[in-house]
Structure 1
Amino acid sequence: MSWNGDETQLRQLATFLRDSLSSPNQNARVQAELMLQKASSSPDIINYLIDILRSDAPRLHLSASDTFTARSAAALKLKNLVKTNYKQLNPEVIAYVRATIIPCVGDDSLQVRNSVGLVISELVKQGGVMSWPQVYSELFDKAQNSESPKAREGAARAVLNICEDNIKQLLRMPGGQRPVEELLPRLYGLMENSNPVVRAIALECVNFFMEYRPQSILNTVDTLLRLVFRLATDTSDDVRRHVCRTLSHLVEMKPESILPHLDGLVDYLITQQRNGLEPDLALEAAEFWLTIAEHRQKLAGSLGPYLEKIVPTLLECMVYSEDDIARLEGDRDDADQEDREQDIKPNFATSKRGKLLVPNSTNGSNGASGTHTPADLSDGEIEEDDEDGGDGDPEDEWNLRKCSAAALDLLANSFPERIFHISLPYLKNNLQNPEWPMREAAVLAFGALADGCEAVVSPYLPELIPFLITLLQDKEPVVRKITCWALGRYVRWVVHLEKTHPQLMSQYLETIIENLLKSMHDRNKAVQEGAASAFSTLVETAGRRLEPYVLVIVQQFDKCFETYKDRNMLILYDCVQTLAERIGPKLASPDIESVLMTALTKRWQKVSDQSKELFPLLECLSYVASAMKEAFEPYSQVIFNRCISVVHSTIEEEVAAARNPRFDSPGSDCLVTSLDLLSSMVQVLSVAKSSELVANSQPKLFDLLRFCVQSDSMDVRQSGYALLGDCAVNLFPQLQPELSGFIPMLVTQLDINNMRDQDAEAAFAVVNNACWSCGEIAIQQGSDILGQYIDKIYRRVFDIISNPDIPVAVQENAAIALGRLGNKFSEHLAPQLAEWAPWFTQLMTTVDTNTEKCEAYNGFSMVIKRNPAALGADLIEYLKTIAQLVGSDVWQSGMGPLVEEVCVSSRLKLRYSTIGQIITTYKKGVPNFHEFFAQVPVKERQLLVGKFPNIFN
């Protein structure tokens, strides 16, 4: 297709594009945006954008810099239009874009080249990876053979964009096609390109595929290894960085492939790790040790002969770099200085209930280097902060220092004695080193050894713990902070003394409590942060052993609330929250409750609805309410009303933002934490009090909740369905009249076809809570509204329990909901019993025995009674589980001696007569029943015979 546009319109559009990005006049920018929106409806807009992208300054009548701005804006606009309008585009327009875009990958501007690559990738993504098959040949040809280095690099970058944006389709398309099998040989060819940038990008593409472990790479490991070893000595640091990453991927994919080469690899990776001039390369090399330690069952044993080389390298790399030392040097008393807004790290609210992990998801923090961030090494010093430095925080990102400490930690679990004794001389030489960076690194190493080397270190701890206590007075704040973290790491050792030396445990525990609390009042904010983080670890580890000290602890927290600045206030809330989780009802003691709630109430009154501090305060209060239970009642009226107000105002702001793009969306944090705090109060307050609060809420709670369970935010929906379920449990008489508005939304939410791939984990968490709230509503008397939707509910719940791609935790909740539905709707579920019984019985085997499981099996039994022939091969599993439940404390906890009906909860009575009738039916209907019954395990047989002697004797 050839196309010629109007030159005047072309130049006008270019001017609008320029003004939309760079005009100093706000009105001009707004006007340009309006004109661009209007132009977007033109059938020729795509063609004009392509022409602008390909034009020079003279043609556009713009300066060189303005031309660059206009072309960059054209590329961005083009990508967005392809993304949103692809299906409506004329095929001739698509053909024109495809024919003209490829040459642009060689543009002189790096930014334009990169933008062109994004456009090409979007075209492939929207049309499908095989809709434009020649794009691969054209890009690889340019990347391999073009005389222009820029064209080679731009084409290679476009290939990378395609790989990243279309990974699932490239790995496997419907029909069994695997386009990756055709791409790999071409990528291997680019790894030998004369251009180092192209070599690096090609290896980056391969590494990206390796994260998904395709069989096509496993089949070509020998070729890949040959190329990687050749690139190991590449002059490009970027190429060598990707080589290190490839080696780490090979450890994960096929560890045996690197074993024959381990001797040379150890020396190579140590050399790269010690490259002080290239921190990204050094970090990627250090990642190898972390990866190999994580796969220690397969490979770490092979590292034994090399530990004397590896461990000193890790220790050496745990010392701050010269640049970091310069930024940290001189940190002194700053506790009275207000925090700058940019110093406060983002903090995001997450729902208390239903957090799930998606199968094969990456759990943790992946930075630009694809690196790991072990959670147990992310506290205290490992998250070092520079409050004063204007050049940024040296510990904001995953770095060589953190990675080396994490690798030492994991390796110590495989070689505790070897690692400790190799490290011991370093520790002895540097724990009292006059140079603070060496002291600090030694304490970091000492803390990193805590987990794996606990047994080996134990004989030294009676001397080392007091020594660490003295380091809390070190003149350098950085050393004091890392010492807090290290002490937190050794709390577990102190707790383990409880059985053998209880008096010694109390002595050490009191010493650590006292000194960490003192450090929480340090004159340096970074030390306060480290001490507070370490104290959270202490509370998490020691739990109820801290009960004798809770009053002293909350008194010190009270003082912290008076003095902490914004950033550390967030960590203090976490301390209180952890204390509430681990100590629980002890917080309801009048003397403790008075101190703690006075401090929190002061903050409550001081923090405005617009403050970023509000949502961590709300989150903290939800845990405190759960711990204090009815003792929280005196504070509930004011807090409940404010939560309602926050939810209402946030919803109004969201509605305004949806209607008018000029309004900023308020975000979901305060909405999530307000809903969670409302949930906590509904759960723990007396029915009379919570009913009063809900009845008097303005606006009405359930009106707001209907909006929340339909929110665009998955986190808000998740918390909304948690609150809905809690209301079903505790406030059903008030919820019942509202169910006609909630049930259709619940039914829609249960449809897994509505889930979005990019929000899989969050979406699963919402479905999980929707299943739970459905089960809670089903178990209530008077929940007739469900009957109108029972067929849809059944089909959607069945889709969940029968889909292997759904996380097991969600499937289990769905199975429980389905069983609970059987209590009231057994007639509706009985005809489909043969379909869902196998999934139900399989999933319920892994569910802990609790009231919900009993309720589910009671409903399941009622369904079986209506259609016993449908149970079939699952009868054995049914009898086995019923026997386990009969023998459990849950079923027998209600009314003393077993009678025909035993009350398990205030909501349900289990009918042993129903179970007896079912067993009698099978005894009469199953040929050779006694032989069949012998398939039930002995213990379960005995339980059933003991419970139903008249049937089995």
Structure 2
Amino acid sequence: MSLEERRRFCRAPPEQRRRFCRELLAGWASSPERRRRVLVPLPPQLRPRRSSRLASAWQPQEGVLRGICAVLEAHVSPNPDQARSWQQLHYPDLNNYLVFLLARGQGCCFEVRQAAGLLLKNNVIADSVSIPPSSQQYIKSELLPCIGATDRAIRSAVGTVISVLFQIFQFAGWFELFQALEQCLYSDNLDQMEGAIDVLYKICEDVPEQLDVDVPGLPKPPIDVFMPRMLQFFQSPHASLRKLSLGCINQYILVMPLEPYVSIGQYLQGLSVLVKDPSANVRKMVCSASVQLIETWRDVMEPHLKNITEMILKASKDSDDEVALEACKFWLAYCNCGLTEGLREFLPRLIPTLVSNMVCTDDDESLTDAEEDEPFPDRDQDIDDDNESFTDHDDDDDDDDESLADAEDDDYGVNAANLRRCSAAVLDVLSNGFGEDILPTLMPSIQETLGRTDDESWKEREAAVLSLGVVAGVCLDGLYPYLQKMFADVLFPYLDDKFPLLRDTTRWTLSQYCESMVEEVDKLRAELIKADKLKEEAVAELDRVKVERKFLCDWLWSQVHSLKASLAKRDDEAVALKRPLEERTDESEGWKSRFEAVKRACDEVAAEAAKRRRLD
């Protein structure tokens, strides 16, 4: 199962994960390959006793054992025939002899016993199917008592072989292993507890999902038995147990969720206690765990980010550089997960811590390189390397957002870097995320530091100059008010300082500003070219508009003249039509007067006739 498949499997609901594991185990247990590789029944009441008799019946032959010991001694001792020594190991039951030497070879040196364990592990990996069932049972029975061996190297070798065998059998095919681990974990013997956690750590490295499956004979998954005990070890007085238990849980949560076996709050509470642990290794693993949590279970961790941030902020000030380096990796992971804005309220405390961590130590390679290169003139490749010495961005990498998830390993070279470089990388990421908003916090401390002139403070001044170079590319506009005074009064005089590293860092910082200023000039030049081009286009457009407007005016003028001529013609036609109408009007007036005269005559005749009738 690939890492991505494991993560998808872990994000599924618990019931779905368990059903998938049951189906997977059921199908694998019924396969012919499974029947060839594993012994059958698991629960104690069903385990056959015949295998135990076979295991106890096998005894090594003294001559063969001496021969194998001689070959292993020749292998661990430097000699020209070392590569050919393995070829002499052609013995029957070789794996039985190897596990015998590993588990019971008290008379042999530890190197020989470790070599036997290494060879046994390689044989199991190479061809586990060819190992007879009786030999398998003997190997398993001999390994289990050695989980709590007094010698740590032997415990480690035994744990390695057990983890390889576990990938073949799991707890379903090796139930005695679960019982042995449980017994050792809950014992009071330090060696047994360390050995059990070491085995679980190696299992979590290879197949952590096998701890979260149902096993016949167990009422709950094995991780539900182991996890509470490992959390109890967080409060153990033994630093080794605290470290091993935390490392084991860290390996488990890479692909598997903590819940429902333990709450996130309970786990984080344990981390908050361990971050103050007197052991630097434990504190370092707390920071590593925080990085894994935010990278793997970001959605689950979002409600707890403020508490985690407070915890890591304290770890960033740790007196141990390795602890502080792991804490710095957390800030990179935090920003690469797209959560940069959540750090805004912590900037007043985070930025001074980063600048303080950028102060070089006496054994810093930058200090050594500057002193060694001082007598020699710079070559072209040296100058190119110096320009990318503190933050190594890759502008050509446009693959996808997955490059951000690996920024602390690839873009900033954290794996090969020290606290100084990693802190500079974090400051660079913050400047890209917040821009000029970091300057009110950054500049007062830088100005105060650069105001000092004593020789004892030259490393702090060099870190301040380095900080100015780191933020130059993004915060140039906000830095303009400070540049004139800093360049003239501080940076230029530092070019002749008596400390080589301060001179080198000043040159690098000035190069960053020169590069940024050149980029600004290039931008202005490009804008001027663009403005000239726009001006030419505007003039051409204006000329075109003028031509079109003149053409339009001429056309309108011609249309007006045409319209005037048309109106004059229509006026003449109207006059011509009006004249006959006027003549007819005169005629009608004449006829109207005649009609009225006749009407009056008629009225007079009618009146006269009426008068006569009255008289008659």
Normalised to the residue count of structure 2, the TM-score between the two structures is 0.62
Query: How many angstroms does 1:437 deviate by?
Result: 1.9
Question: Comparing both chains, which one has the higher relative contact order based on Cα–Cα distances under 8 Å and sequence gaps of 6 or more?
Answer: 2
Query: How many angstroms does 1:167 deviate by?
Result: 4.4
- Partners of 1:493 and 1:184 lie apart in 2 by 57
Q: Tell whether 2:449 aligns with 1:449.
A: no
**Any stretches of 5+ residues in structure 2 without a counterpart?**
1-54, 215-219, 380-384, 386-395, 530-616
Change (3 A) 1:80 1:107: same
In the alignment, which residue of structure 2 is the partner of 1:498? Answer: 522
Change (3 A) 1:454 1:135: farther
AA partner of residue 8 (structure 1): G
Query: How many angstroms does 1:115 deviate by?
Result: 1.8
- Give runs of aligned pairs for residues 741-890 of structure 1, distance below 5 A: none
In the alignment, which residue of structure 2 is the partner of 1:102? Answer: 144
- Partners of 2:485 and 2:101 lie apart in 1 by 73
Query: How many angstroms does 1:6 deviate by?
Result: 0.7
Q: Determine which structure has more spread, i.e. the larger CA radius of gyration.
A: 2
In the alignment, which residue of structure 2 is the partner of 1:11? Answer: 66
- Partners of 2:270 and 2:332 lie apart in 1 by 24
Q: Tell whether 2:257 aligns with 1:229.
A: no
Change (3 A) 1:494 1:357: closer
- Partners of 2:252 and 2:74 lie apart in 1 by 40
Match of 2:509 among 486, 501, 504: 486
- Partners of 2:276 and 2:357 lie apart in 1 by 22
Match of 1:244 among 256, 273, 287: 287
Q: 1:134-182 CA distances to partner (integer Å, 9 max, x unpaired)?
A: 42442243133141x2232222112111111224666799xxx997667
Query: Is contact 2:370-2:504 (8 Å) kept?
Result: no
In the alignment, which residue of structure 2 is the partner of 1:287? Answer: 329
Query: How many angstroms does 1:90 deviate by?
Result: 0.8
Q: 1:59-109 CA distances to partner (integer Å, 9 max, x unpaired)?
A: x5xxxxxx2221121111111111112121112211111111122233333
**Any stretches of 5+ residues in structure 1 without a counterpart?**
61-66, 339-343, 345-353, 366-371, 383-395, 506-953
Q: Secondary structure at the match of 2:104?
A: coil
Query: How many angstroms does 1:213 deviate by?
Result: 6.0
Q: 1:849-898 CA distances to partner (integer Å, 9 max, x unpaired)?
A: xxxxxxxxxxxxxxxxxxxxxxxxxxxxxxxxxxxxxxxxxxxxxxxxxx
Query: Is contact 1:140-1:156 (8 Å) kept?
Result: no
Q: Tell whether 2:89 aligns with 1:52.
A: no
Q: 1:404-424 CA distances to partner (integer Å, 9 max, x unpaired)?
A: 222222223343344212111
AA partner of residue 456 (structure 1): G
- Give runs of aligned pairs for residues 385-400 of structure 1, distance below 5 A: 397-400=416-419
Match of 1:26 among 80, 102, 109: 80
Query: Is contact 2:476-2:516 (8 Å) kept?
Result: no
Query: How many angstroms does 1:460 deviate by?
Result: 4.1
- Partners of 1:453 and 1:192 lie apart in 2 by 46
Change (3 A) 1:417 1:91: same
- Partners of 1:97 and 1:205 lie apart in 2 by 25
In the alignment, which residue of structure 2 is the partner of 1:307? Answer: 347
Q: Tell whether 2:371 aligns with 1:317.
A: no
Query: Is contact 1:113-1:154 (8 Å) kept?
Result: yes
Query: Is contact 2:148-2:195 (8 Å) kept?
Result: yes
Query: How many angstroms does 1:445 deviate by?
Result: 1.1
In the alignment, which residue of structure 2 is the partner of 1:156? Answer: 197
Query: Is contact 1:237-1:281 (8 Å) kept?
Result: yes
Change (3 A) 1:497 1:171: farther
In the alignment, which residue of structure 1 is the partner of 2:312? Answer: 269
- Partners of 2:479 and 2:377 lie apart in 1 by 39
Q: Secondary structure at the match of 2:364?
A: helix
Q: 1:373-392 CA distances to partner (integer Å, 9 max, x unpaired)?
A: 462x45xxx9xxxxxxxxxx
- Partners of 1:129 and 1:321 lie apart in 2 by 50
Q: Secondary structure at the match of 1:89?
A: coil
- Partners of 2:270 and 2:469 lie apart in 1 by 40
Change (3 A) 1:488 1:105: farther
AA partner of residue 509 (structure 2): A
Change (3 A) 1:103 1:454: farther
Change (3 A) 1:419 1:478: same
In the alignment, which residue of structure 1 is the partner of 2:164? Answer: 122
Change (3 A) 1:399 1:86: same
- Partners of 2:67 and 2:258 lie apart in 1 by 52
- Partners of 2:229 and 2:462 lie apart in 1 by 48
Match of 1:421 among 435, 440, 443: 440
Q: Secondary structure at the match of 1:88?
A: coil
- Partners of 1:169 and 1:45 lie apart in 2 by 29
- Partners of 1:19 and 1:193 lie apart in 2 by 42
Identity %: 28
Change (3 A) 1:95 1:359: farther
- Partners of 1:142 and 1:294 lie apart in 2 by 41
Change (3 A) 1:363 1:503: closer
- Partners of 2:526 and 2:156 lie apart in 1 by 64
In the alignment, which residue of structure 1 is the partner of 2:500? Answer: 477
Query: Is contact 2:324-2:419 (8 Å) kept?
Result: yes
AA partner of residue 207 (structure 2): N
- Partners of 1:411 and 1:270 lie apart in 2 by 15
- Partners of 1:140 and 1:213 lie apart in 2 by 21
Change (3 A) 1:95 1:504: farther
AA partner of residue 520 (structure 2): H
- Partners of 2:517 and 2:258 lie apart in 1 by 45
Normalised to the residue count of structure 1, the TM-score between the two structures is 0.42
- Partners of 2:149 and 2:231 lie apart in 1 by 25
- Partners of 1:136 and 1:68 lie apart in 2 by 27
